């Protein structure tokens, strides 16, 4: 199933599940939901570094935050843009410099990477069946696009589009509260079952011509007390 069809399927699944009874007593639900889904904000502020690795390149960002996220319906958090701050190429392929700042196309500041607009769909991470979210671009495949960076006249990183999606673990579940935690799975590929009839998807990012890994952890704060079932 192609990722660009997921939004329409999510809306269909919300209608189909409108009368479902979901228990919050267990560690996870077979059909995880946001409760309530009132269009409340969801903001994540990073803890520690965010690290992207692909094709011998390592880009480390000292902080990150997700802005403009809203719980669009019981399955979806939408209008998410992630700001990665203090981004530097700490390792690069042979013959290129390292230690220069990296930014995205159109970014107003050096070292600032902005993703395209994303949305996140609830599901179950496989094989653990823990509650997770698949974050993917609203339109197309591009997650973020880096500009060419250089130091001392030598290239650090080429201009490159990072494509694909990422799967994150969200906790706690079964508790209605203002705060939670999200952790990106630090693997090249991660399987997530979007449940509600949407099917299983393999989340992966590609950059510099190869499959990459993205590692980060953040605290999430909702605009009102919210339970992830």
Residues 2-56: tens digit of each pLDDT: 444 444 444 444 333 333 333 333 344 578 999 999 999 998 887 678 899 988 8
In 3D, which of 96, 12, 108, 114 has the Cα closest to residue 55?
A: 96
Going by the DSSP 8-state scheme, the letter that residue 29 receives in this structure is: -
Q: How far is residue 88 from each of residues 10, 60, 103, measured CA to CA in Å?
A: 37, 5, 9
pLDDT the model gives residue 156: 85
pLDDT at 163 (0 to 100): 96
Segments of the chain with pLDDT less than 50 = 1-28
What's the full length of the chain, in residues?
A: 229
Query: What is residue 92's predicted lDDT score, i.e. its pLDDT?
Result: 82
Instruction: Report the mean per-residue pLDDT for the chain.
Output: 84
Distance in angstroms (rounded) separating the CA atoms of residues 163 and 161: 6
pTM of the predicted model, to two decimals?
0.84
Confidence (pLDDT) at 113: 93
Cα separation, 113 vs 88, whole angstroms: 10
How much of the chain, in percent, has pLDDT values that exceed 70? Answer: 86
pLDDT recorded at residue 197: 84
The confidence score (pLDDT) of residue 24 equals 34
- Separation CA 221–CA 195 (nearest Å): 25
6: left (phi over 0), alpha (psi -120 to 50) or beta: alpha
């Amino acid at each position: 199933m192609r990722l660009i069809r997921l939004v329409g399927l999510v809306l269909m699944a919300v209608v189909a599940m409108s009368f479902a009874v979901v228990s919050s007593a267990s560690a996870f639900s077979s059909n995880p939901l946001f409760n309530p889904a009132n269009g409340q904000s969801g903001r994540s502020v990073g803890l520690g570094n965010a690290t992207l690795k692909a094709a011998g390149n390592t880009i480390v960002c000292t902080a990150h935050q997700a802005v403009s996220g809203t719980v669009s319906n019981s399955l979806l958090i939408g209008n998410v843009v992630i700001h990665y701050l203090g981004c530097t190429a700490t390792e690069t392929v042979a013959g290129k410099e390292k230690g220069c700042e990296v930014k995205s196309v159109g970014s107003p500041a050096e070292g600032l990477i902005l993703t395209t607009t994303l949305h996140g769909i609830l599901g179950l991470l496989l094989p653990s069946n823990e509650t997770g979210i698949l974050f993917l671009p609203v339109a197309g495949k591009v997650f973020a696009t880096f500009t060419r960076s250089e130091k001392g006249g030598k290239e650090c990183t080429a201009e490159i589009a990072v494509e694909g999606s990422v799967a994150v673990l969200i906790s706690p579940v079964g508790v209605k509260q203002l705060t939670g935690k999200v952790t990106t799975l630090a693997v090249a590929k991660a399987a997530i079952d979007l449940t509600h009839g949407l099917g299983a998807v393999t989340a992966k990012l590609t950059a510099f011509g190869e499959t990459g890994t993205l590692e980060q952890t953040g605290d999430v704060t909702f605009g009102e007390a919210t339970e992830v079932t």
